[in-house]
Structure 1
Amino acid sequence: MESCKALLIQFQEYMQIEKNFSSHTILHYTKDIESLFEFMAEQSISDLRELEYFDARLFVSKLFDQSFKRSSISRKISSLRSFYSFLMREGVVEQNPFQMLSLPKKEKRLPSFFYVEEMEKLLNSQFENNPIGQRDKLLLELLYSTGIRISEAENLKLEHIDFVVGTILVYGKGRKERYIPFGRYASDLLRIYINEGRQNLLTKNKKDHSFLFVNYRGGPLTARGMRDILNKIMNKAAMQANIHPHMLRHTFATHLLNNGADLRSVQELLGHSHLSSTQVYTHVTKDHLQKTYKSFHPRA
């Protein structure tokens, strides 16, 4: 039988070429599968065909003992199911020991978001009038005004922007396309950055590519670089909480619903395949309304 490592490489190629998974998703799958390999080494299991349902249950039990979150355990089980399904398809194994495992119930946790006043404070932060400042201000505005994922922002290109219609073309999970409108603020910042800041960074570093967001060396800005930028913006605004890109996505959805947007439209804008993924925001808006009621109603 081929080594575990060689099979993992084949699975990575399958995810990248056939499934069109993002590099971020492939990395998570890889880490989950490598944790199984570590478990197999501890249990003196050298062959993936030797792993049985009992072993899979023991693996999950150890994850609980190590205080992994239920959501992380669910993800690992899903990753390993997919890996073994691939191995069955390739004729490497005859059974999927993870298929019959039930996923742990997820903890009910509401997504964190910024209130309107907090978002205004962030957007009104002081940005230097130079290429880097123009880029950083646009990044914050675009993530909030469109609700796109950080991986989607990372892959945005100039040809994806339509100034006439006022939309951007986004490739979401599984390379699914969707068009998202952007407002006047984002439009103004896009024009300034593309014509001035971005062009300056490319010319200065003798680079030529169509990615929208550019680092100081003129290359495409990575998702990690974007996260660092957002944290610096938070520090400048003297706000306590750590920002993460998904917080802006949560804020986008919550503010739309708080102002009367219908759930189906928000689902389409976010690129959710299932309405249940979007419905979590209705709980956020209910919580917001309840806090408002308790704060301002004399009989509350």
Structure 2
Amino acid sequence: MGALREQMDKDMVLRGMSPRTRESYLYVVKGLAKHYHKSPDTLSEQDIQNYLLYLIEERKLAWSSCNIVVQGLKFFYYTTLRRDRMALIIPRRRAPSKLPEMLSREEIIALFEAATHPKHRLLLMTAYSAGLRVSELVRLRITDIDPNQMTIRVEQGKGAKDRYTVLSKQLLVELRKYWKRERPAIWLFPATHTPDEPMNAETAQKIFYRCKQRAGITKRCGIHSLRHAFATHLLEEGTDLHRIQRLLGHGQLSTTMRYFHLAQSNLMQTQSPLESLAARVATRR
């Protein structure tokens, strides 16, 4: 789908979509074409719906992944091919609300200690220390670290937004040791064989999984759990919710508020209403 791919990418560029979103949507359409071994512009509405059914029932894709497929196909058929929106019905179901499995502080320490390579240890420390998404983590430049303001600049994060997050004093010490040893030129975490390019996000994820296995952590979680832990631990330590929102780069406060459900200290300090009820009964006797 060479010409179609090029046109779709141009359409996304014109609409200001981020490189990551463009890559995801192109991959979605490529997957559809590969499934049928046909050009996607020749497929019928029923073909598309059957493909989605295949992803849901046979591939067992999570609803969040299916939603990305849906949005990518909608863009291709509605925008690039300009098909009538009413002629293409793509089913979409709301993703079930699930809380991620939280890493404790002890498990995070064990994770760091399980990193056999200093670069890998620093990668995980930076993700946790600054609350970064993996796509933001691997694209950090040396110039994004500001020791004077004690900030880390996140360039073009999710939603194509720049923001600043906190630079830990302890992390700064580790970063300086790392720079003296490795001397990275542009990217903080360059690719191993092509240092003029950043590390691949998939590589960072694999590093996390290897360290998690060595640390004996059995919880179902990926490198994004370090971002969850950053927010939850800040909340447990009394950091203002609006400040956490800005550090994470959330557009809506409601997105940040989900960490209330993860903050164990807040839950454990909550008193059951049965206690006050028992106190009332006691005063009547």
Interval of TM-score (by shorter of Structure 1 and Structure 2): 0.7 to 0.9
| Counterparts in 2 of 1:7 and 1:140: CA distance versus 1, 3 Å | same
Cα distance change, pair 177–215 in 1 and its aligned pair in 2 (3 A): same
Shift of 1:64: 3.5
- Pick the aligned partner of 1:9 from 3, 6, 10: 6
In the alignment, residue 19 of structure 1 is paired with which amino acid? G
Q: Please name the residue that 2:19 is paired with.
A: 22
8 Å Cα contact 1:111-1:247 kept in structure 2: yes
Check 1:57–1:293 CA distance in 2 against 1; reply closer, same or farther (3 A cut): same
Amino acid across the alignment from 1:173 = K
Distance of aligned partners of 1:17 and 1:232 in 2 relative to their CA distance in 1, 3 Å threshold: farther
Tell me how far apart the structure 2 counterparts of residues 212 and 98 of structure 1 sit (CA, whole Å).
Answer: 48
Q: Which residue in the other structure is 1:65 paired with?
A: 57
Contact map agreement 1:166 1:182 (CA 8 A) in 2: yes
Work out which of the residue numbers 191, 194, 207 in structure 1 matches 2:176.
191
Q: Deviations over 1:187-230 (max 9, x none)?
A: 11111111x2222xx6xxxxxx4111134446132222222322
Give the distance between the partners of 1:244 and 1:7, measured in 2 at CA: 34
Q: Cα distance 1:93–1:13, how it changes in 2: closer, same or farther (>3 A)?
A: closer
Match of 1:269 among 241, 244, 247: 247
1:152 is matched with: 136
Matched to 1:26, the amino acid is: R
Q: What TM-score comes out, normalization by structure 2 length?
A: 0.79
CA contact (8 A) 1:230 1:243 kept: no
- Cα offset for 1:287? 9.3
1:36, 1:273 → 2: CA distance? 32
Superimposed CA distance per residue, residues 206-263 of structure 1 (whole angstroms, 9 cap, x where no aligned partner): xxx4111134446132222222322333344343346521011111111112222233
The equivalent residue for 1:80 is: 73
- How many residue pairs were aligned? 270
Q: Distance in 2 between matches of 1:218 and 1:61?
A: 40
Letter in 1 for 2:22: I
Q: Determine if the alignment matches structure 1 residue 36 to structure 2 residue 12.
A: no
The CA RMSD measured in Å over matched residues stands at 3.3
Corresponding residue number in structure 1 for 2:147: 163
Q: How big is the shift at 1:14?
A: 4.1
Percent identity, aligned pairs only, is 28
Residues 58, 222 of structure 1: CA spacing in aligned structure 2 closer, same or farther, 3 A cutoff? closer
Question: What is the alpha-carbon distance in structure 1 between the residues aligned to residue 193 and residue 48 of structure 2?
Answer: 47
Question: What are the ranges of 5 or more consecutive residues in structure 2 without an aligned counterpart?
Answer: 279-285
- Give the TM-score normalised by the residue count of structure 1: 0.75
State the SS of the aligned residue for 1:68.
coil
Give the whole-Å Cα distance in 1 for the aligned partners of 2:40 and 2:18. 27
When residues 232 and 37 of structure 1 are mapped into structure 2, their CA distance, relative to the original with a 3 A threshold, is closer
1:28-77 alpha-carbon deviations (Å, 9 max, x no partner): 322321343356668xxx6738744x665454444443243322222211
> Is this contact kept in 2: 1:51–1:97, CA < 8 A?
no
Measured after TM superposition, the shift of residue 104 of structure 1 is 0.2
Alignment check: 8 A CA contact 2:32 2:40 kept: no
Contact 1:150-1:245 within 8 A present in 2 as well:
yes
